Structure 1
Amino acid sequence: MTTRLNPYLSFRDTAKQAMEFYQSVFGGELTISTFGEFHASDDPAEQDKVMHGQLTTTDGLVLMGSDTPNTMELTSGNSYSVSLSGEDEAELRGYWDKLSAGGAITLPLEKAPWGDWFGMCNDKFGVSWLVNITGAPA
């Protein structure tokens, strides 16, 4: 098997909603396992929390995520971004439109100094996204 690097996002109690949202953006197959299914927590309040979620698209995109247990600290912040880049302008603009809806655009998707179209946004779950369309026409 080839080694892959996959983004893995942590949430407090919204992993299921977030992963379902990303499935609505990218399509693909979503699998979700809960703490209860694997007897991973004795806390009754955590039985429906997501222990592991994985979205895999037909194009090979993989995004993973989970809820952080109540006993573990979760610090949200801006120390990471998920980057989408490629040449398919229609596909990437579609992702941009869906990801930025209900969120906040920090840099509009526009012509960048290096010649591509580039934008930055935070989706409605607070995840920072970078979108770069290589060589897109002006």
Structure 2
Amino acid sequence: MTIGVTPHLNFRGNAREALEFYQSVFGGELVAVSYADMGNADPATADNVVWGQVAADNGFRVMAYDVYPHLPWDQGQDPFFVSVRGTDPAELQGYWDKLVEGADVRQPIGPSQWAPLYGQLTDRFGVTWVLDIAVEYAST
């Protein structure tokens, strides 16, 4: 198994703009999934990014999303997540089991809509980690 550690940046309505900028700087492929793509019909947030990524051949990776409007957000609070994506569920679970000691679990690890295994926690040092099994997004 290989893993990748990717910064996951949080924004309030300008994630797509930020991702386009990072792509212009580092190159690579930009993928952005909007709230509308996930079935959200609220016109105020439909174009916001629920998940986005720039991935370049040079190894640059960054992920981003627009924080849900009903959630509090301050750029000084949760400005990023550390995302660990893997291919082996047992190995990923092992990382989770170690990180969870003394942590605040935000989303227990388990199957999700977008991944066979997904979990989110803030470790005892205040760093928020997202662990998941990488799957390819099938655009419609």
Q: TM-score range by the shorter chain?
A: 0.5 to 0.7
Separation (CA, whole Å) in 1 of partners of 2:79 and 2:67:
17
Give the deviation of 1:48 after TM superposition: 0.5
Given that 2:10 and 2:79 are in contact with CA atoms closer than 8 Å, whether structure 1 keeps it comes out as no
Change (3 A) 1:6 1:72: same
Matched, 1:45 2:44: yes
Deviations 1:79-103 (A, max 9, x none): 768xxxxxxxxxxxxxxxxxxxxxx
Identity of aligned residues (%): 38
TM-score normalised per structure 1: 0.53
Counterpart in the other structure of 1:61: 60
Counterpart in the other structure of 1:22: 22
Give the gaps of 5 or more residues in structure 1. 82-138
For the aligned residue pairs, the C-alpha RMSD in angstroms reads: 1.9
Given that 2:10 and 2:78 are in contact with CA atoms closer than 8 Å, whether structure 1 keeps it comes out as no
Give the deviation of 1:4 after TM superposition: 1.3
Separation (CA, whole Å) in 2 of partners of 1:22 and 1:75:
21
Q: Which one scores higher on RCO, CA 8 angstroms, separation ≥ 6? A: 2
Give the deviation of 1:45 after TM superposition: 0.8
Change (3 A) 1:80 1:47: closer
Given that 2:16 and 2:32 are in contact with CA atoms closer than 8 Å, whether structure 1 keeps it comes out as yes
Q: How does 1:1-138 map to 2 (within 5 A)?
A: 1-39=1-39, 41-77=40-76
